[in-house]
Amino acid sequence: MAPSGTIVASGGSKTSPPARLDWVDYAKGICIVMVVMMHSVLGVELAAGEPGFMHGLVAFAKPFRMPDFFLISGLFLPLVIDRDWRIYLDRKVVHFAYFYVLWVTIQFGFKAPAFAAETSWHHVGLLYLESFIEPFGTLWFIYLLPIFFVVTKLTRRIPPLAIWLVAAMLETARIATGWTAIDEFCARFVYFYSGYLFADYVFALSDRARRHPAVALATLGAWALVNAGIVAHGASEWPMVSLLLGFSGAVAVATMGTLLAHARWLNFLRFCGEHSIVIYLAFFLPMAATRTLLLRTVVVPDIGMMSLIVTIVGVAGALLIWRAALRLHAHFLFERPDAFWIAPKKAGSVLQPAE
């Protein structure tokens, strides 16, 4: 996920010039919409005390929603992992740290009065400081990505198969310490590392799907039936099953992105993928505001329809906030200012986190 910039990819080669891959933007668009949908649907259902028709779709996507996002984030790491540490840390750590600190502060600004009403302003201050150890709310993804980037670079001298096996075992272990960074690292690192390690295979898979769309579509249908069946039977979080569903779902989303790009359908998903960090950072505000409004006014009595509206407004509202920020010259909300770079900035470029 990233600001509106350029995502670079090898097209299957680690040495070819950077180029934007349309299917990646589609895949990222699918992922970010699923993320907003999950938070919107579960938030509405929790507040309303009952599920709606969107609940099944959120459950269907749960096994692969975040695995796919992390796998995509690792795909382009082979292009940049050999950079010197100063540039690498600037692009892969400082970049995310800037957005995390900024947006956790913004989120706290909106939520602090409610927190203070429940406890005290002193406690709110402690919660804010704790957010730099325990990721706050929806922002845990960009908290965790820099850790993944650093760990991957630090372990380059260790045989990749050994790293992958350990990461896979951590995922199947279902570790639950109560600390988000630790638990999510154990659950997600295998997907990020797989994106890095098997990038060429993923690009090759996309090429095959583009060449044989009918076969790819039939395979997607079979995958959807299997995934839905396993989720319906409550087995999606079993050890090894969750790992298989995570990878198969990630491959499925990559295939969907390829087919949509090939047909040039649903361009709004591509646009969402190109601006996925914009949506990720800002969707909480229109989502929460719309949820509160609909629940209080009961204009839309159906919980499922309410969840759908909140999802749409969450995505569209985030993009409107971004456009408003640009018009008001508040670029710092979505683009890292020059003062927060620790390495030379490439002229004319806006980096993508998935670079």
Q: pLDDT tens for residues 317-337?
A: 999 999 999 999 999 999 999
Tokens 């087995």 found at: 235
How do residues 45-104 score in pLDDT, each as one tens digit? Answer: 999 999 999 999 999 999 999 999 999 999 999 999 999 999 999 999 999 999 999 999
**Is 9 in a helix, a strand, or coil?**
strand
pTM of the model: 0.90
Beta bridge partners of 344: none
Q: What is the pLDDT of residue 6?
A: 30
CA distances from 188 to 73, 106, 156, 160, 180 (A): 11, 27, 19, 16, 11
Which residues, in sequence order, are CB contacts of 159 under 8 Å at separation 6+?
Answer: none
Chain Cα centroid distance, residue 192: 11
Render the burial of 68-101: b for 16+ CB within 10 Å, e for the rest: bbbbbbbbbbbbbeeeeeeebbbbbbebbbbbbe
Q: What is the mean pLDDT of the chain?
A: 90
Pick from 54, 68, 212: which is nearest to 141 by CA? 68
CA angle 284, 142, 228 (to 5 degrees): 70
Q: Please tell me the least confidently modeled range out of 123-132, 295-304, 343-352.
A: 343-352
Residues 196-221 have pLDDT tens digits of 999 999 999 999 999 999 999 999 99
**DSSP three-state, residue 157:** coil
Q: How far apart are CA 5 and CA 350, in angstroms?
A: 5
